[in-house]
Amino acid sequence: MGGHIREPGSKRQAAAAALAYARQFGISVSGTDILGFFGTAFHARLYVFEPDLVYHMDNRKGFGFRERLVL
């Protein structure tokens, strides 16, 4: 897999991603500023990964078989 990493396009996009992450992993967020919470609690900022090269690997089709997926 290959691609580029960038900062989120908007704070709304970043907050939605942080909220989804917190729900997925059962993290209870205190307060309404979820981005501030993540920065304070985990010393982390959110980024967006945009893939431009993805391979699907399937050893059932032969050892080390891989095919490029068109995005």
Give per-residue pLDDT as tens, 1-46: 899 999 988 989 899 989 999 999 999 887 788 999 988 988 988 8
- Range of the structural domain that residue 11 is part of: 2-69
Model pLDDT, residue 54: 92
Model pLDDT, residue 61: 92
Which 3-state string (H, E, C) describes 20-68? HHHHHCCCCCCCCCHHHHHHHHHCCCCCEEEEEEEEEECHHHCCCCEEE
Model pLDDT, residue 55: 93
Model pLDDT, residue 43: 92
Considering its fold, how many domains does the chain have in total? 1
Q: How far is CA 18 from the centre of its chain?
A: 10
Higher pLDDT, 55 or 30: 55
Residue 51 has pLDDT above 90, yes or no: yes
